[in-house]
């Protein structure tokens, strides 16, 4: 039995612990029962994972910027270092990969890791094109139950996510009709930065560009602080998906968790004038979703950069909530930010007699520590993670379809089964990105 199978079997049955190599202690965190982790992208957001991955064995560190290794090795002295994630994933003893790189490489690394039977935690957004989202989901679905996946939408562990979901499911606002999420972050750029100097020694800029078309180096892409540098590049089409991938991943998650939707049947969007270099700041997109087994058909909307849904009452100023969600039901509205919520019963029949609060015992169980939920699932992959690659890919595929509709400037019909726009041939061109030679999305 190989190492990974041993870990899974031991965790699933408890029995494998009896055959641990001599000298190893029993128990989930015993040395013989730790995951071998590769961290790809060791600085910035990567730093936020140090504490949780240090509970496991960190065996590989990968970063395009070699200057980041000295500090990372102080924390993880036994790890091998790499500048090219493709080489890193060749290391045979890796069980699980944490991806904290720039957005335009997420789906690539996730696919390559899944295809090599590695568990994956991928920072948000999981993908920046519809095709990327679909490939990652399809790959993972063939290994669901064997490999654990999680997208870094860690706000999901906040208890408010469950409370909102329960209120919607339990009918606190009657029958759900529509849901809206928004974010007010506005970072404007005119276009790709002009070339300015050479990359510093040790920074492999061409590997940073990876699959994306060439753009000359400019230090402006790398001027942000740790964990905020993504705001220096994520608005450019070749490097990210703007606020859809950024705060949109977190805020749509608040809505997505409650509406229990899969792929939309249509998308339409409008926003500021199209810029071939930069994703729109102000934009809104609307999606139709079919009924499921507990609700009728709904519309889902995303607003960003100043666009906002209409408030149900002039006295309620939704713009006071920077990143939030609102749900419209037959008996009222629910408005939520990340950690609190309010219900507005609406209309003569909205007497709440139809709603029965849950008892403490029947509340949805808490997610707990978000990264640990994934570690636990790596050791017992039949356990569920909150933001696995099916839930998260569906969510980001919908959001990215909004950008496609924005680009063609009309309402499009979508067939989620085939991944094709059925009534607007030119829209299908925008479902995928063009990659540089030598880079394979599903390798």
Ligand X SMILES: NC(=O)c1ccc[n+]([C@@H]2O[C@H](COP(=O)([O-])OP(=O)(O)OC[C@H]3O[C@@H](n4cnc5c(N)ncnc54)[C@H](O)[C@@H]3O)[C@@H](O)[C@H]2O)c1
Candidate residues 230, 261, 421, 431; the one interacting with ligand X per rule CB under 6 A: 230
Judged by CB under 6 A, the chain residues 159 through 198 that form the site for ligand X are none
Q: Output the smallest distance, CB 219 to ligand X, in A.
A: 12
Binding status of residue 280 toward ligand X by CB under 6 A: no
Of 35-43, 156-164, 374-382, 400-408, which part binds ligand X (CB under 6 A)?
35-43
Say which DSSP state 297 is in. Answer: -
Classify burial at 214, counting beta carbons within 10 Å of its beta carbon; exposed 0-12, middle 13-18, buried 19 or more. Answer: exposed
How many residues make up the chain in this entry?
443
Binding status of residue 41 toward ligand X by CB under 6 A: yes
Distance between CA atoms of residues 244 and 74, nearest Å: 35
Q: Are 317 and 438 in contact (CB under 8 A)?
A: no
Candidate residues 152, 211, 280, 402; the one interacting with ligand X per rule CB under 6 A: 152
Nearer to ligand X, 45 or 295 (CB): 45
Binding mask 71-110 for ligand X (x = CB under 6 A): --------------x--------------xxxx-x-----
Tokens of 163: 């409370």
Q: Are strands 420-421 and 323-329 parallel, antiparallel or unpaired?
A: unpaired
Binding status of residue 258 toward ligand X by CB under 6 A: no
Geometric angle at alpha carbon 42, from 137 and 145, rounded to 5° = 30
Binding status of residue 154 toward ligand X by CB under 6 A: yes
Nearer to ligand X, 156 or 163 (CB): 156
Tokens of 337: 């930010």
Nearer to ligand X, 268 or 397 (CB): 397
Sheet with 119-122, edge to edge strand ranges: 80-82, 57-62, 36-40, 96-99, 119-122, 149-151
Name the closest residue to ligand X (Cβ): 44
How many residues bind to ligand X according to rule CB under 6 A?
A: 29
Q: Output the smallest distance, CB 398 to ligand X, in A.
A: 18
Closest CA to 272 of 238, 249, 304, 318: 304
Judged by CB under 6 A, the chain residues 198 through 227 that form the site for ligand X are 207-208, 210, 227
Distance between CA atoms of residues 409 and 403, nearest Å: 10
Of 62-70, 264-272, 280-288, 337-345, which part binds ligand X (CB under 6 A)?
62-70
Binding status of residue 435 toward ligand X by CB under 6 A: no
Candidate residues 10, 58, 64, 321; the one interacting with ligand X per rule CB under 6 A: 64
Distance between CA atoms of residues 266 and 203, nearest Å: 43
Phi-psi region of 332 (alpha: psi -120 to 50; beta: other; left: phi over 0): left
Of 228-236, 278-286, 299-307, 310-318, which part binds ligand X (CB under 6 A)?
228-236
Distance between CA atoms of residues 71 and 57, nearest Å: 17
Distance between CA atoms of residues 338 and 324, nearest Å: 7
Q: Output the smallest distance, CB 99 to ligand X, in A.
A: 8
Binding status of residue 289 toward ligand X by CB under 6 A: no
Question: For residue 180, what is the enclosing H or E element?
Answer: strand 176-183
Q: Where are the beta strands (DSSP E) in 249-405?
A: 266-271, 283-289, 298-304, 323-329, 332-336, 341-345
Binding status of residue 63 toward ligand X by CB under 6 A: yes
Nearer to ligand X, 12 or 207 (CB): 207
Nearer to ligand X, 229 or 428 (CB): 229
3-class secondary-structure state, position 10: helix
Q: Which phi and psi (to 5°) does residue 304 adopt?
A: -145, 160
Binding status of residue 329 toward ligand X by CB under 6 A: no
Question: For residue 414, what is the enclosing H or E element?
Answer: strand 412-415
Of 37-45, 129-137, 141-149, 378-386, which part binds ligand X (CB under 6 A)?
37-45
Binding status of residue 124 toward ligand X by CB under 6 A: yes
Nearer to ligand X, 23 or 214 (CB): 214
Nearer to ligand X, 230 or 267 (CB): 230
Q: Which residues bind ligand X (CB under 6 A)?
A: 40-46, 62-65, 68, 85, 100-103, 105, 123-124, 152, 154, 207-208, 210, 227-230
């Amino acid at each position: 039995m190989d190492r990974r199978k041993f870990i899974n079997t031991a965790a699933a049955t408890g029995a494998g612990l009896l055959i641990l190599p001599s000298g190893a202690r029993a128990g989930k965190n015993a040395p013989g029962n730790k995951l071998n982790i590769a961290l790809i992208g060791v600085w910035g957001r990567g730093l936020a994972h140090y504490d949780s991955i240090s509970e496991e064995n960190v065996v590989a560190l990968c970063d395009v910027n070699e200057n980041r290794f000295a500090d990372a090795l102080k924390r993880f002295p036994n790890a091998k270092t790499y500048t090219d994630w493709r080489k890193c994933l060749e290391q045979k003893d890796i069980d699980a990969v944490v991806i904290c790189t720039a957005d335009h490489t997420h789906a690539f690394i996730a696919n390559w890791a899944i295809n090599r039977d590695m568990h994956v935690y991928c920072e948000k957004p999981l993908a920046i094109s519809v095709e990327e989202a679909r490939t990652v989901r399809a790959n993972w679905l063939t290994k669901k139950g064997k490999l654990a996946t999680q997208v870094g939408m860690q706000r999901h562990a906040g208890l408010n996510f469950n409370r909102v979901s329960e209120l919607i499911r339990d009918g606190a606002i009657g029958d759900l009709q529509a849901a809206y999420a928004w974010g007010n972050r506005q970072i404007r750029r005119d276009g790709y930065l002009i070339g300015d100097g050479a990359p510093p020694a040790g920074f492999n800029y061409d590997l940073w560009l990876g699959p994306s078309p060439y753009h000359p180096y400019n230090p402006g892409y790398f001027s942000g602080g740790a964990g905020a540098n993504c705001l220096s590049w994520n608005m450019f089409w070749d490097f990210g998906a703007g606020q859809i991938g950024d705060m949109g991943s977190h805020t749509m998650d608040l809505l997505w968790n409650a509406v229990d939707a899969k792929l939309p049947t249509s998308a339409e969007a409008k926003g500021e004038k199209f810029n071939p270099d930069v994703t729109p700041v102000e934009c809104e997109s609307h999606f139709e979703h079919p009924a499921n087994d507990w609700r009728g058909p709904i519309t889902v909307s995303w607003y960003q950069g100043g666009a906002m849904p209409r408030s149900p009452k002039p006295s309620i100023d939704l713009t006071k909530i920077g990143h939030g969600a609102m749900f419209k039901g037959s008996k009222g509205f629910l408005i939520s930010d990340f950690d609190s919520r309010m219900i507005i019963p609406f209309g003569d029949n909205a007497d709440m007699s139809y709603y029965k609060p849950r008892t403490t015992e029947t509340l949805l169980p808490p997610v707990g520590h978000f990264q640990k939920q994934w570690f636990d699932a790596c050791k017992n992959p039949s356990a569920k993670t909150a933001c696995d690659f099916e839930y998260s890919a569906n969510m980001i595929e919908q959001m990215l379809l909004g950008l496609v509709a924005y680009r063609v400037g009309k309402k499009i019909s979508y067939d989620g089964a085939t991944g094709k726009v059925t009534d607007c041939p030119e829209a299908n061109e925008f479902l995928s990105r063009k990659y540089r030679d030598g880079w394979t999305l599903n390798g």
